[in-house]
Amino acid sequence: MKRFEGKVVLVTGTSRNTGVGIAALFIREGAFVFVCSSSPESTAKGARQLHDMGLTNFIEAPADISDPESVDKLFQFIQEKTGRLDILVNNACNQGIGPAFEDIPYDFFKKVILTNLGGTFYVSQQAARMMLRQESRGVIVNLGSNVSMRAIRNRTAYVSSKGGIDALTRSMAVDLGPKGIRVNEVAPGYIYTDRWDALDEGTRTRRRMNCPLRQEATADDIAQTVAFLASDASRNICGERIVVDAGCSAQHMPEDVDR
């Protein structure tokens, strides 16, 4: 039997890359998946990729997670279509690529925090309320980042938001665990996305020097860890942060620096 046969799953941030990979794994494992991105157009883009993989057991459910009204409509749609939600994967993210700390406009910082932290909070809250009405409860998996513990340059808003995800995950786990809802986090490092296609080979090689395994994660690497935390195999894991970064966080400095 497939691991998620008959389960209903919501995956946010499914326009491309990791979100599509996560949705694809759940569909292949028997789940019915709501795929969600910030607009109908971006959601349809991810849906086309899933269709190209031969996958059909999903439905498009666009929502801007930074907008509570949009999230409310999303959960009304889920209620109408399935009447339940078993697994939530909070993957949607504003990458927050911008200027140095002293040049960051406040509105830019606020927008990144509102999407990454505020959006994760509100989507999770609505999901938890739905799950608490179900006998079987549910599971929530948040996507964080290894940068919450090891900051990168010129990404203050993003790093701050991911630090908040770490704390939010622990707090959710403590509050929701006794009520039957498990909450955990996957914290990736480098992930191969379409942004890597614009990099020259020298830059890719240098990045890989930061990884003891010498290889960035694939979307499926992240999806497999998310699926583990969403499955019964992790039934006694709650409030944890699993780092998937090819050993980056274990390494003090890469070989070409540490000489």
Catalytic residue annotation: 145, 158, 162
List the one residue out of 160, 168, 163, 165 whose CA is nearest residue 104: 160
Query: Can you say how many angstroms the Cα of residue 207 is from the centroid of all Cα atoms in its chain?
Result: 22
Strand-pair partners of 163:
none
Residue 86 tokens, joined: 């078993």
DSSP assignment string, 71-136 = HHHHHHHHHHHTS---EEEE----------GGG--HHHHHHHHIIIIIIHHHHHHHHHHHHTTSTT
SS3 137: coil
